[in-house]
Amino acid sequence: MKTFAGLFGPDRAARRAQRDRLRLDLADAAVYAIGDIHGCLDELLTLEGVIVDDARSLPGRKIIVMLGDYIDRGPDSSRVVDHLMAPPPPGFDRICLTGNHEVALLDYLDGHLSLSQWMPMGAAATLFSYGVDPDRLGHVYRSSRQVNEVIRRAIPAAHVSFFRSLPIMVEAERYVFVHAGIRPEAALDQQTDDDLIYIRSAFYESPHPLRKYVVHGHTPVAEAKLERGRINIDTGCYYSGRLTALRIFRNKGRYLSNRAV
């Protein structure tokens, strides 16, 4: 049996094409970064309404940056993807980054990850959202090949194309937007895709200073906070019910939530 490190190691990563990395000019722009959604559509819609209201008084361009992990665990993965594929709120641009959960789904579809390896990540909720009951699959179909075929047919090709198209990082003059974090000792152009979507302790515990503020999710926290240049806005929406956004405007930050304070 493969170890956890083996599942997310270089062999599987080498099979994937490197994802796009974008640059963003934030001069006179308001950016709203949104943390991990994990199938929580109602919370996302509420937070978008809060963001639209907040932006009414701000001049210039408005950009929503989604930090990945749109699927798994929560109840509405497929509807979250439908929503993100649709146009953003009027007057806004939207950039959706990939998270490790989108990459894991693709690894499963591409045959690099087994269903038994994907399921502990919360895949059952995703399958239900696409109309597949994972508890019944093994009883109805005799082989894993048949099970995999049913699942692959259930996930729309447009959704798969969306997952494949997602960039992995947005860099601005003073900020980096990414799903999990970075290796602080390495230049941004030396970060691997797996660094950007899976890293935890090597990011949090590194003694090296950050050259830019890193806005990220991936590791749930009770409250969004800035700590030594790291701004974690994953407030565990699928279990806490709280989805958090960070607004950056003229180098000042403000946290927004789907829940009234």
Q: pTM for this structure?
A: 0.93
Instruction: Please count the residues of the chain.
Output: 261
Q: Which amino acid is at 29?
A: A
Q: Enumerate residues 6+ apart whose C-beta is below 8 A from 206.
A: 183, 184, 185
- Among 2-6, 30-34, 36-40, 213-217, the range scoring the smallest mean pLDDT is 2-6
3-state helix, strand, coil in the chain (%, to 5): 40, 20, 45
What are the E-state strand segments in 35-191?
A: 61-66, 92-96, 169-171, 175-178
In angstroms, the Cα distances linking 231 to 144, 152, 175 are 42, 36, 10
- Helix axis angle for 41-55 and 77-85, nearest 10°, is 30
Q: Is residue 10 over pLDDT 70? A: no
pLDDT at 135: 86
Average pLDDT over residues 111-134: 96
Residue with tokens 């019944």, as numbered in its chain: 136
From the centroid of its chain, how far is CA 229?
20
- Tens of pLDDT along 138-184? 788 878 899 999 999 999 999 999 999 999 999 999 999 999 999 99
Tokens of 87: 């146009």
